[in-house]
Chains A and B, each alone.
Chain A
């Protein structure tokens, strides 16, 4: 089975537009397509999957074609993670899988068996917001709020991975997180503040 995994940095990925086009045009993995007349719609088997999401264990039955993003949003009801393109090109769907950020639209759910996942819903400790969430409010790192979950998950990873050493470094790391409302400057301000505060992220 072929999987859509983005292992390299988002920046590199964005530049490979041909690879993206290829993914987009890829025919379904589950229909043996030769010519139209020979297409046979097959029943789709569900597969078992265990995940830990925001500290809670889920035992799931999942359509093998379902992306991790759609699993979260459509099946589990964790809609805090956003779909902005479904093509690995916008960063709205970024979550943490086993401690690393991942564009969840580009990963099949079933390829994440036994993974530990943290989404935007799992960042705060009860009523206590995560320092990055607080900083986003303070610096108004949002307008519509649709890219915000992905920006925050990426921003937390940026600080954790030691990439928040300067504004330029932060911008490079965050390049794959598009904000069409244009809140970029405030987002970088928020990340800078969290980094400088030395608060644990």
Chain B
């Protein structure tokens, strides 16, 4: 185990490493790269939900000012990745995942791109959209989740789990079986998804793409076009938020590449905000039922968790909605059941806390409901059923400080003021309620590679082909290196966003800091060892020293036995006539079966709400959010991530809901004016607190992840607080005055 913690201390200067670029407008996002001779591609989208295009008339559009081409199934060049079979009839394992845009005349959902107009300007391309006329043969379609899910024949089973007795909760002295509904929620990062494709000849390609996983994008596009991976360079310097939408490539990418190749000039495709609601995934709609039973003391006797979530007709998207019920609480009898429901809509994808956000909403609300039935404090009920080991696999937790999170949350929110009987506390004429929820997410560690370059002047550059959608990877990696090398932060630069760098993991699943941080740690350790060996070889005074008796600190290499034996890194470089030292290190991921531990991050969210007794208007008054995320590398950026999770949770609990017109299959509210995200005015004071205790079993830097736990369990805390304030239980998100029974609010 490492002694990283011994010399790790929070730096006073904790500013975001790329803050300067962001506040001056210098940070370059995908669509902002200035490319000579650029053409603009815009999608023409279907105006039906399902069917076949009988005729696509693009003749007028082709005559319009500035239009170079209209690409559709009529003239789309075939690319290797659009075939499901290879030339010799085998399954094509490089087949493009997802919709093969522009390649056929089928319409699978309302708003599906059916053509790409390419023109010399955005204005000319956009104006030509209405000049393309499609005639369709319509087919019947289904977009109504609630109606369709009641027909069991339409569901696809996706596996069951059980330990102990199935449906044991029904035999418990006290039990509940509530159902919960969550509508579709859409990531809607502020930067729209975009791609620019620049071909150099027939088999070399540079793409600027909004992605959380540059390496994955590289291999997807190389596979699709049948060119070697090394011939595809993906550049993504800054990502304007993504929250999961950038974990796979969407159709703007192949469309830009196809058009650029066909026209032999660079092409940029930027989605519009309305397209952001259907073309880059979303959190699927879900229905859940929790059966939960306990004895009079509150000991859980059974949990049954069922869920259905939607997918598209052309792809299966599944997530671990019910998994959390298997291990968050100690219970001998647990069974889960998960099914997906294909609808004629676009495919969902991972969105911040995928699966767990949905599952924990139901589970944490159910615990609250059970606590009232038991006349027990909901935090007490959780502590009563605290899982001391992971009950799913009986492995010990690598670290778990959830109880500390409960305690701190209670104290900071003023839990003692919580009314035991709902609807009985008033403050300035408002109904007051307190509620809480817990969150959990796997603390994974994946493979990652990092290059370190030590320059002759002693400056350090680190490189990895990852991207940063906002959490502050550049900041935290610089800090890991600075602490490891005991060097000032301003001597270290972390570079990312370019597949020419060594392969790094996708930024998702709260694992970047853990995976990449381990690689940075490892490469810095190796660099120190190299410097020690170099000193022994090249510097006379070091000649008789063992490397174990040498240390590297404050840009010096020195003997730990004799303080007079010492040389600066810059002098050592000069003496050994080196312009630079370059090292690449791979860090391996781990899994529970190998390390024999179960590793998770935990969180609690405590909220206080006011509900207007006449209108039902809900106002959050205070939020306390706590995280057990191991060692906190950068408190500044970590805190911001937790704040962001709380804001996302406020949106989920009170505002966000995608709506379809089931007559046409069209999304009704594809804009910020109609799909309501949290605004400045929705945000109460938020306190963030971290346990900040390292977990060295997960990795040598002691950090677990925190991007997901910031949101997981939050919506339940709000729902539980609203119940505490009003005595009315709303199980279907978002919670609105109407659902609380107030009319014309």
Which residues of A are at the interface with B, using a C-beta cutoff of 8 A? 14, 17, 20-21, 24, 27-28, 30-31, 33, 36, 39, 41-44, 63, 65-66, 70, 73-74, 77-87, 89-90, 92, 119-121, 123-124, 129, 133, 136-138, 140, 142-149, 152, 170-172, 174-188
Chain A residue nearest to B26 (CB atoms) is A80
| B691 at interface by CB-CB < 8 Å | no
**Which among B59-67, B285-293, B434-442, B554-562 touches the partner chain?**
B59-67
Partner of A79, one of B32, B130, B644, B671: B32
**B644 near A178: Cβ-Cβ < 8 Å:** no
Interface string of B646-657 (1 = CB under 8 A from A): 111000000000
Interface centre among B20, B34, B123, B679, by most chain A C-beta atoms within 10 angstroms, is: B679
Partner of A42, one of B21, B65, B647, B673: B65
Known: A33-B130, A86-B273, A178-B679. A185 touches B686 (CB 8 A): yes
User: Taking the nearest CB of chain B, how far is it from the CB of A78, in angstroms?
Assistant: 8
Could you jot down 11 A-B contacts, CB within 8 Å?
A66-B121, A73-B31, A82-B190, A83-B31, A85-B671, A133-B23, A146-B191, A172-B680, A179-B190, A181-B241, A182-B648
Query: Which chain A residues lie closer than 8 Å to B472 at the CB level?
Result: 143
**B60 near A182: Cβ-Cβ < 8 Å:** no
Which residues of B are at the interface with A, using a C-beta cutoff of 8 A? 15-16, 18-29, 31-32, 34, 60-61, 63-66, 121-124, 127-128, 130-131, 133, 187-192, 238-243, 270, 272-274, 469-472, 636-637, 639-641, 643-648, 671-674, 677-681, 683, 685-686
Q: Once bound together, how far apart are the Cα atoms of A121 and B27, in whole Å? A: 11
Q: Once bound together, how far apart are the Cα atoms of A142 and B324, in whole Å? A: 31
Chain B residue nearest to A130 (CB atoms) is B23
Q: Once bound together, how far apart are the Cα atoms of A42 and B304, in whole Å? A: 64
Q: Once bound together, how far apart are the Cα atoms of A143 and B647, in whole Å? A: 13
**B637 near A140: Cβ-Cβ < 8 Å:** yes
Q: Once bound together, how far apart are the Cα atoms of A121 and B131, in whole Å? A: 38
Known: A133-B23, A146-B189. A43 touches B65 (CB 8 A): yes
**B130 near A182: Cβ-Cβ < 8 Å:** no
**A82 near B191: Cβ-Cβ < 8 Å:** yes
**A144 near B131: Cβ-Cβ < 8 Å:** no
Q: Once bound together, how far apart are the Cα atoms of A146 and B242, in whole Å? A: 11
**A27 near B130: Cβ-Cβ < 8 Å:** yes
Chain B residue nearest to A183 (CB atoms) is B640
Query: Which chain A residues lie closer than 8 Å to B274 at the CB level?
Result: 24
Query: Which chain B residues lie closer than 8 Å to A121 at the CB level?
Result: 24-26
**B671 near A89: Cβ-Cβ < 8 Å:** yes
- Sorted nearest first, the 7 A-B pairs with minimum C-beta distance are A80-B25, A182-B647, A146-B240, A145-B22, A144-B470, A41-B64, A182-B644
Chain B residue nearest to A148 (CB atoms) is B22
Partner of A137, one of B16, B124, B647: B16
**B672 near A143: Cβ-Cβ < 8 Å:** no
Query: Which chain B residues lie closer than 8 Å to A14 at the CB level?
Result: 672-673
**B23 near A28: Cβ-Cβ < 8 Å:** no
Chain A residue nearest to B270 (CB atoms) is A83
Q: Once bound together, how far apart are the Cα atoms of A36 and B57, in whole Å? A: 11
Query: Which chain B residues lie closer than 8 Å to A129 at the CB level?
Result: 20, 23-24
**A137 near B123: Cβ-Cβ < 8 Å:** no
**B123 near A66: Cβ-Cβ < 8 Å:** yes
Known: A89-B672, A90-B672. A44 touches B123 (CB 8 A): yes
**B640 near A144: Cβ-Cβ < 8 Å:** no
User: Taking the nearest CB of chain B, how far is it from the CB of A48, in angstroms?
Assistant: 17
Partner of B24, one of A30, A31, A120: A120
**B673 near A181: Cβ-Cβ < 8 Å:** no
Partner of B671, one of A20, A42, A82: A20
**B25 near A149: Cβ-Cβ < 8 Å:** yes
**B241 near A180: Cβ-Cβ < 8 Å:** yes
Q: Once bound together, how far apart are the Cα atoms of A42 and B63, in whole Å? A: 9
Known: A144-B469, A145-B240. A80 touches B24 (CB 8 A): yes
Chain B residue nearest to A88 (CB atoms) is B673
**A20 near B188: Cβ-Cβ < 8 Å:** no
Chain B residue nearest to A167 (CB atoms) is B685
Partner of B123, one of A42, A65, A123: A65
Contacts A41-B60, A90-B190, A182-B648 known; 14 new A-B pairs at CB < 8 A: A20-B673, A41-B128, A82-B190, A86-B272, A121-B25, A124-B24, A140-B637, A142-B22, A143-B644, A179-B647, A181-B640, A182-B644, A184-B643, A188-B680
**A174 near B680: Cβ-Cβ < 8 Å:** yes
Known: A77-B34, A184-B647. A144 touches B239 (CB 8 A): yes
Known: A28-B127, A87-B273, A184-B647. A39 touches B60 (CB 8 A): yes
**B24 near A140: Cβ-Cβ < 8 Å:** no
Known: A63-B123, A86-B273. A175 touches B681 (CB 8 A): yes
